[in-house]
Structure formats: structure tokens, C-alpha cells
Amino acid sequence: MKKIEVLEEAARRVYNSVKHLPGTKESAGDFGRGAGGDISRRIDILAEKAVLDYLREIKFSCIVLGEECGRIEISDNPDGIVIMDAVDGSTNAVRGIPFSCCSLAFASGDRLSSVTDAVIIDLYNGDLYSASKGSGAFLNGNRITVHKETPLYFVVGLDLSGISPDSLQKLSPIISASNHIRHFGAVALELAIFSRGLVDLFVDLREKLRITDVAAGYLMVLEAGGLIVDRNSRPLDSDIGYEKKISFIAAANKKILDETIEKLGLRE
Amino acid sequence: MKKIEVLEEAARRVYNSVKHLPGTKESAGDFGRGAGGDISRRIDILAEKAVLDYLREIKFSCIVLGEECGRIEISDNPDGIVIMDAVDGSTNAVRGIPFSCCSLAFASGDRLSSVTDAVIIDLYNGDLYSASKGSGAFLNGNRITVHKETPLYFVVGLDLSGISPDSLQKLSPIISASNHIRHFGAVALELAIFSRGLVDLFVDLREKLRITDVAAGYLMVLEAGGLIVDRNSRPLDSDIGYEKKISFIAAANKKILDETIEKLGLRE
């Protein structure tokens, strides 16, 4: 069984386990702070359990790094790491806002750049996004790419939640110049819809994201033909670990990326 | 036939006319600038036509004020004005982002405060929101209210698209203090989901919205038990006309509203 198929099946099991929960009181039960530092909600715990149960069932050779559960060894001598945010957009899910997903990536090494497989499933409608290194990105089995042409409306995804006044001021040039700014509240799914061409630029420079938020979306963007760089405008990379805080700019093409770096004064 | 029933049927006709269009090239055909000043897209024109055809068919006693079509007299001696944004969130619809709606309000006079009936239909899933003055707000026939309790996660809706650096700086206190900021890109539908308690605070102080964007959402918020004020923290009101530019703060309760006004320094 290919690794991408394992991730896909795990994601489908999450969807089937929790799809009835978004917006219910049941989704929100408090399970204390997870490894990533946020409060774990019932929906988070059930979703992680679906993945862990499945990986154990098939004795998948891996370590899991989960947003809530932390580091769990599924097997000795693992082939790699499954990086899991079993529910990205827990706030949306708990409040009933229909935008949340399960994000799973497989890395053969200990760097973001060693991610070889990625799956993101939309927990509202079951849309399944997947990508394997060198093989492209897919939505429900159909090839997807970032938006290649100049779009009719240029849409910018931007996460500003809890940003410092200083950092906000630095983003002001792209905010003032953009007529269509969006933030849906689940970065992995936002990178997935970016990868299918619905959004042209996505910026998160808050230094708040964790590897679990970003790992699957990172490969999805690259395999869909997009670009993704760090706050120093270098190709995004990172150790795989909880302590790393990640910022990025994802752009549909080089022109958009260059203009954004210019506007933000990030050129070294 | 009650006015609310007329608006509901008109909204359903819009949904049935355009629900196949979001995300297609067909949706985006350019029909020049509409009365509100934006480019009219094929989806906008078809949606307006569905409303206008229906109102003429039943000889509804009204004038229509439409985002694209401008002022149209459906009958002599009209009973009031139908304020129409037949597709709110056209950018989302054209790009395929599943968040757009049709927004219809009926006003018996020439002020926002004379709006007596409001309907908002979600063009992605057909969810129908409706409100009549003094009778409450409903989603698919079930009573809805704003979120009354202190929420587990406090969610702030915020439109920053094209905001000036100065205005952005003024909003900095609520941006920095909010861990869950959202912007979905269709103000009427955002006020509808606010009215059913998914969002706690919604702020748009850009002075860019038109009466067509706001009329239905305004009544929805009030009938769902929420508060909505202008940039001077007075109850929101306005003439009904294209030239008016509207800013507002909608809050689920007085405490949230007072804290927001305080943070933004809007107390007179």
C-alpha cells in the first residue's frame, strides 16, 4: 500500500468519525491542553483517535507527531513521520462555521522539505486533496493546479488573528492594495483551496503556525505548481518539531511572489 | 401574500437560476459597470433578472433598487422599495469559493430603519435566512438568535479589503486582541451567520459598503437579538440611496459592543 493511500484512508476515517460533530455542543468538550499548546476539544480527540487506530491496525511503520497527542511511536524502526493536525480549524468546527479539515503529511526525514505525501480532507463536504512529491496534486482524484492566468479578481488570503500592531503595520501595503482579502480560519484547507486556484496569494507572517498546521499544505502548494517561501523570501523549510514557529508566503506564480516581497520590503 | 413570502420566493428563484454557476467561466462574463459601480458579471445579471421577472410577474407594488440594475419601477404608487444585492460575494462566486448569497430587503420608507422584511439565501447550499420586523429571524423556518452566552472561542468578522493604512491602524487594538478573525467575503451572508450565533462581533469601518450590501443583514441582526451601530456608536441608520457609504459594528450583546467601542476609541 502506498503511503499516500494510507493517508487518504486515514483522512476518510476522520471524516466519517467526526462529520456529524461540527456546530454541536458535543464537539466542544474540553480535554485539556494538547501537545501543541491549544485546548483539545472532543472533536480533536476523536479525529486523532481515528488516525492512530488505523495506523496501528495496519502496523504502519512510522512515528506520529500530532497537534494534541504529541509524539507517538506506532512502530520500531519507523520509515518516517506522520505529521497530523487531525482537525485544523477546530474553532470553526466548534462554532459550526463550515470550514475545517484534517491535515496529514508523511515525511521521510526530519525536515519539512522531506515531506513526500500530503492529504487534506474537508470535514464539511468530504472533498479529498492529496499530493505526492513529484506526482502532482489532486482533488478527489482530479489534477489541480494553482491559478495560472491573471485572475479576474485577485484574492488574498491573510491571517491576522492576534498579530502585533508592528507586524500589522508591515502588512499594511498589501492590505490597502487588495480589494479581496479573505481569512477562513483553517490554514491547511486555505492552502488546499489556494492549490486548486481559488486564491492567488496567501500570507501568514505572524510566526505562530506550527509544523502540524503547515506540513501537508506545504507539499500541496508545491505539487500544484505554486511557490512558498519564508519571511526572508527563501524557500520554506523547517525542522519537524513542536517548538518551531512558521511564517510563509504562498504565491501562485513568481510575479505575484516578487511583487509581494517588494511591497513588504522582505528582499534581503 | 406577505412581503416576506415574496422575498423568499424571489430568493429561491435566484438560487435555482444560478446555483450551477459558481466557479465556472460562464459565471464571469463582463456586462459593464452596474449602478453600484462594480463590474456586473453574468451571474449578477442572471440573478437580478430572476428577481425582476418574478416581481413583475406578480405585479409587486414596489420600486427596486439593485446593485447592478439601479432604480427600476415595478409599479406606479409603490408600497415601498426592494433593496437588492442579487449576488453578494460575486468575487467568491466567480472564483468558486463557496460563500456567496442573494440579499433582498423591503423598506416601507426611505430609511434603512424602515426596512420591514429581509431575506438572505446562501447560493452554495440554499440555506434561507429571513426576518420580519418584530417577528424574529429564521433559518429555513427555524428561529435563530445571536450567540447569547460567552463563547468558547470568540470569533470576530472583519473586512479589511482595501482599507487605508490609517484606518487599519485604528483597528489594530481589536486585531491584536482577537485569536479568531474571519473574513469570508460576502457581508450579507456574514451578517446572516452572525445572526445565527456563529460569529460574535462583525466590524466594517471602511466606509465602502452600500445600502444594497447591508439592508437585509441589518434587519436580520436586529431580529436575531443583536446590536448594530455606526462609526459614531449610534444605532445604524442611513438614507436608502447608492451614494451612501456605510460603516458598522454588529455585536452579539451590549458588553461586546461596549468593549469594542472602548477599544476603538469611538465613544463620543
The reply to whether B149 falls in a domain is no
For the stretch A198-214, pLDDT in tens is 999 999 999 999 999 99
Average pLDDT for chain A? 94
How confident is the model over A125-151, as a mean pLDDT? 96
A26 pLDDT band, cuts 50/70/90, is confident
Instruction: State how far the Cα of B17 lies from the Cα of B228, in Å rounded to an integer.
Output: 32
Instruction: State how far the Cα of A149 lies from the Cα of B256, in Å rounded to an integer.
Output: 43
Question: Looking at chain A, which residue has its C-alpha nearest residue B29?
Answer: A152
pLDDT at position A268, please?
58
Residue B245 has pLDDT above 90, yes or no: yes
- For chain B, give the percent of residues with pLDDT over 90: 84
Closest-CA distance, B89 to chain A, in angstroms, reads 10
User: CB–CB of B52/B72 below 8 Å?
Assistant: yes
For the stretch A50-104, pLDDT in tens is 999 999 999 999 999 998 899 999 999 999 999 999 999 999 999 999 999 999 9
Domain count of the fold of chain A: 2
Residue A27 has pLDDT above 90, yes or no: no
Domain containing residue A219: CATH number: 3.40.190.80
Closest-CA distance, A200 to chain B, in angstroms, reads 10
CB contact under 8 A, B176 and A162: yes
CB contact under 8 A, A95 and B153: yes
pLDDT at position A80, please?
97
A8 or B153, greater pLDDT: A8
Among B239, B234, B250, CA closest to B210: B239
Instruction: Tell me, yes or no, whether B137 and B225 share the same domain.
Output: no
How confident is the model over B226-233, as a mean pLDDT? 96
Instruction: Tell me, yes or no, whether B216 and B87 share the same domain.
Output: no
Instruction: Tell me, yes or no, whether B128 and B162 share the same domain.
Output: no
Instruction: Tell me, yes or no, whether B111 and B166 share the same domain.
Output: no
Residue A39 has pLDDT above 80, yes or no: no
Among A116, A144, A172, which residue terminates a domain?
A144
B268 pLDDT band, cuts 50/70/90, is low
Residues in chain A: 268
Task: State the cell numbers at A107.
Answer: 515525511
User: CB–CB of A22/A100 below 8 Å?
Assistant: yes
- A chain contacts of residue B161, beta-carbon cutoff 8 Å: 175, 178-181
Instruction: Tell me, yes or no, whether A85 and A173 share the same domain.
Output: no
Compute the half-sphere exposure of residue B203: CA atoms within 13 Å on the CB side of its CA.
Answer: 28
CB contact under 8 A, A199 and B163: no
pLDDT at position B32, please?
75
Residue B234 has pLDDT above 90, yes or no: yes
Nearest to A94 among B153, B177, B182 (CB): B153
- A chain contacts of residue B178, beta-carbon cutoff 8 Å: 161-162
- A chain contacts of residue B179, beta-carbon cutoff 8 Å: 161-162
Q: pTM of this prediction?
A: 0.95
- For chain B, give the percent of residues with pLDDT over 70: 100
Among B118, B144, B170, which residue terminates a domain?
B144
The reply to whether B150 falls in a domain is no
Among A181, A180, A236, CA closest to A213: A236
Question: How far from chain centre, in Å, is Cα A41?
Answer: 19
Report which secondary-structure segment, H or E, holds A117: strand A115-122
Residue A138 has pLDDT above 80, yes or no: yes
The reply to whether B151 falls in a domain is no
How confident is the model over B224-241, as a mean pLDDT? 96
Best residue of A95, A163, A205, A209 to probe chain B, by most B CBs closer than 10 Å: A95
The reply to whether B130 falls in a domain is yes
Instruction: Tell me, yes or no, whether A124 and A18 share the same domain.
Output: yes
For the stretch B131-140, pLDDT in tens is 999 999 999 9
How confident is the model over B254-267, as a mean pLDDT? 93
A29 or B115, greater pLDDT: B115
Among A119, A144, A169, which residue terminates a domain?
A144
User: CB–CB of A177/A188 below 8 Å?
Assistant: no
The reply to whether A151 falls in a domain is no
How confident is the model over A167-174, as a mean pLDDT? 92
Among B74, B81, B108, B118, CA closest to B215: B118
Closest-CA distance, B215 to chain A, in angstroms, reads 21
Q: Is A109 helix (H, G, I), strand (E, B) or coil?
A: coil
For the stretch B146-200, pLDDT in tens is 998 888 889 999 999 999 999 999 999 999 999 999 999 999 999 999 999 999 9
B30 pLDDT band, cuts 50/70/90, is confident
Which residue range(s) make up the domain with A56? 3-144
Place of cell 427555524: B142
Measured over the CA atoms of residue A170, residue B194, residue B51 and residue B243, the dihedral's sign is negative
Q: Which residues of B154-180 are buried (b: 16+ CB within 10 A; e: fewer)?
A: bbbbbbbbebeeebbeebbebbbebeb
Domain containing residue A94: CATH number: 3.30.540.10
The complex scores an ipTM of 0.93
